[in-house]
Amino acid sequence: MKKQIIKTADGSHSLFVPALNENYHSKHGAIAEAMHVFIKNGLQSHPKKKLNILEIGFGTGLNTLLTLEGAASKKVHYTTLEPFPIEREIYSKLNFQDFVKSDQSIFLRLHECDLEKDIKLKEYFTLCKKKK
């Protein structure tokens, strides 16, 4: 399905799927939404120092990126399922690095890493992407 990059109210990008009339993130702010829901009320509010996270729908990789950059005080094994990954021509244009202290190579690696394998991206963060 065709996807379009859109700019949300906080300036961060999201994707819009015209055929479904659906956005990947809130139009009020992709970064703002992910920080509020996934980081502030998820990662940061959990008292355990060792976490196994399962995300259904890797999508743009924003939740994974924010978790990777925000989990230094925890040990995270992050599993994500994505049967319909977005194309490089789209994810390479997303502007999340303008908002997150991470370099583009880390973000690209999130998208391009091998499937079905544990990939250690930082000492405290392991990613396993699955197609189903």
Confidence class for position 122, pLDDT limits 50, 70, 90? very high
> Strands, DSSP E only, in the chain?
4-7, 13-17, 22-23, 50-56, 75-81, 118-122, 125-130
Query: Using 50, 70 and 90 to split pLDDT, how confident is the model at 101?
Result: confident
Per-residue pLDDT, averaged over 77-102, amounts to 95
Question: Alpha carbon 79 to chain centroid distance?
Answer: 11
Q: Any bridge partners for residue 16, and if so which?
A: 4, 23
Cα–Cα distance between 122 and 132 in angstroms, integer? 24
Spans of all domains in the chain: 4-130
Q: For residues 14 and 23, is the Cβ–Cβ distance under 8 A?
A: yes
Q: What is the DSSP letter of 67?
A: H
Question: Which architecture, in CATH terms, is 4-130?
Answer: 3-Layer(aba) Sandwich (3.40)
* 51 bridge partner residues: 76
Mean pLDDT of 49-71: 96
Instruction: Assess whether pLDDT exceeds 90 at residue 52.
Output: yes
Q: How many percent of the chain have pLDDT more than 70?
A: 100
On the question of pLDDT at 132 being above 90, the answer is no
The two three-digit tokens of residue 37, written as one number: 């829901």
